[in-house]
Structure 1
């Protein structure tokens, strides 16, 4: 069975990655349509060995489209996702627009695939925030083993999380340092080249940023509402891949060796943990890879039943595009959707 798939926001970082991953994984497509705004009409985009020309979102007929991979931002999703879903097309939304909606499942397939069954209420499934996705992939097997009470996480998030503009700004500012050009700051609140910015998204009344809030509420929805989590999210001068320093307190005893054994067998995780120089994964090595890498697993003697570890993943893949395609694969593999073309036949 083959499905007609539309990618909304196809010219963006994540949209392009979605097209690449659909081709890489041999997703069963009868047709793939690249959609974007009017200003991107006709833009050519690669899909495997084919070239697609972008079409305009508001001119697309959704009546024969089976799956929509939505990656055009929250405002576009709020305007279009429910309209698309009402026409029988399942929307897998990469924005934050519907993540906390009571009638929309928030899915990371390795963690809570069973929750996908509720998608028919609005025909929308939400993709989590990129920093949340890799975190819960690492936490899930540990939670099953020893029950997590509390998580403290500091993120080191790449500029690609802020889109093409963020990547361009890091490149331009880095070049400016070496050629003594004027330093321009547009996308980020402060200079990002050779610097760190302890703010991602807007500040909330309690002093946390919205990115930090997302990690809290999304982890609770995906994994367990009883888990207490606090986060500090930092933008770093890295192009691709988010890193996280994670400290976890458990209800039950768990040693570092037991945690490593669990993580070695966990879906989506790859343990690289040698106690020697370079015996860990960095953002550079994770870029372009599907796994959530775990390193530096060690016991925290300052709390009872505590562990610390280092977690790295490509934010454009597992943090966004790959997770969305995996959700679509779950729908197909579980027989939850049928191609409209097959129904017509």
Structure 2
């Protein structure tokens, strides 16, 4: 016996990916509802390979009673309005926005990293999905932290335009085309030209000079892995359509060699190690597209600190960074709390 599942924001990049992953992983869906704003009402959306078509319903007047799980990919403003309504009706919300991540009564969950945290979901009947750049980072950090206790992390991200939604992807395509044909370029979604460029700015600036994206990585890593970890981040947007990459320097309390780290990561859930010291012996963003794994490459010892390592982490941000993690949370929730049959 399966679940009655809602996907809110089903017409967006992440919502569509959620539907694809529910089908790919054969999540036990007895009944499916797909929601979006009024302007998308009636839009047909295919679910799985069977050719099944589900029509979009208006989230504004949807009746949440009797539904088991709702995967939300609608942004913070709509989430603030509709998630509490769904949760109060008995439908457990798994939210992809940043709204509830730092709420002490809402668990922030990456199933490979802190599965036990999900047990706190009953306080508000809401579970938060972390930021895309955080999700892949903590999957790589947690097994190393368990082995040698992380003191400090310095991370630079190279984040794809899909993290900014369809508008970000469209802008990269349109600007790239404009450059080739000699048309003028006018940034709209991003603050500067993104085609053939790098923008060291994601989300709004805070008073201390860091951006909110960088702040999210700090506070979310602390909540998910260990509040004692010190972390500093520089987040950059790069002209890549899908998949985020991260250069990560880690300082440990205890000694951990590159060979030991390599073996630990090979056994870690959700991690795939591709680390050959030769041309092409590493993973790049295009190779991670459509994959479930968080890839770790370029594992090496840092000679500038005691007990330091440097690694390269790549993952499909629409999958592990958003939709896949949400579905994995739903699977975990089902196993631990919503057992049926």
TM-score by length of 2: 0.98
Shift of 1:52: 1.6
**In the alignment, which residue of structure 2 is the partner of 1:25?**
25
1:150 Cα offset (Å): 0.1
Matches within 5 A, 1:52-63: 52-63=54-65
- Give the distance between the partners of 1:164 and 1:152, measured in 2 at CA: 30
* Cα deviation code 1:81-135 (max 9, x no counterpart): 1111011100000000000001000000000000100000100000000000000
Per the alignment, residue 136 of structure 1 pairs with 138
Aligned partner (choices 261, 264, 286) of residue 262 of structure 1: 264
2:233 corresponds to: 231
Counterpart-to-counterpart distance in 1, 2:216 and 2:125: 22
Structure 1, residues 131-185: CA drift from partner, whole Å, max 9, x if none? Answer: 0000000000000000000000000000000000000000000000011112121
My pick for the range that moved more, 18-27 or 74-83, is: 74-83
Equivalent residue for 2:309? 307
Q: 1:161 is matched with which residue? A: 163
**Candidates 119, 124, 129, aligned match of 1:127:** 129
The residue number in structure 2 matching 1:294 is 296
Aligned length: 339
The aligned counterpart of 2:103 is: 101
SS at match of 1:238: coil
SS at match of 2:71: strand
| Pair 1:37-2:37 in alignment | yes
**Is it true that 1:337 corresponds to 2:313 in the alignment?**
no
1:32 and 1:117 map into 2 onto residues whose CA distance is 25
> Unaligned 5+ residue runs, structure 1?
none
Aligned to 2:244: 242
- Deviation digits for residues 303-337 of structure 1, max 9, x if unmatched? 00000000000000000000000000001112x02
SS class of match (1:99): coil
**Match in the other structure for 2:70:** 68
SS, match of residue 169 in structure 1 = helix
Offset, 1:338: 5.0
**1-structure distance, mates of 2:34, 2:188:** 28
SS of aligned partner of 1:145: helix
Distance in structure 1 (CA, Å) of the matches to 2:176 and 2:82: 38
CA distance in 2, matches of 1:102, 1:77: 17
Give the deviation of 1:59 after TM superposition.
1.5
TM-score, structure 1 normalization: 0.97
Q: Distance in 1 between matches of 2:218 and 2:225?
A: 11
Q: Which residue number corresponds to residue 91 of structure 1? A: 93
Match of 1:214 in 2: 216
Q: Distance in 2 between matches of 1:173 and 1:42?
A: 32
* Structure 2 unaligned regions, length at least 5: none
Contact conserved, 1:20 with 1:46, CA < 8 A, in 2?
no
Task: Describe the SS at the equivalent of 2:11.
Answer: coil
Deviations 1:245-294 (Å, cap 9, x if unpaired)?
A: 00000000000000000000000000000000000000000000000000
1: CA distance, partners of 2:151 / 2:46: 45
Question: Does 103-112 or 53-62 show the bigger shift?
Answer: 53-62
Matched residues in 1 for 2:31 and 2:231: separation? 42
What is residue 4 of structure 2 aligned with on the other side? Answer: 4
RMSD over aligned CA atoms reads 0.8
Query: d(CA) in 2 for partners of 1:255 and 1:195?
Result: 36
Other structure's SS at 1:64 match: coil
Matched residue SS, 2:291: coil
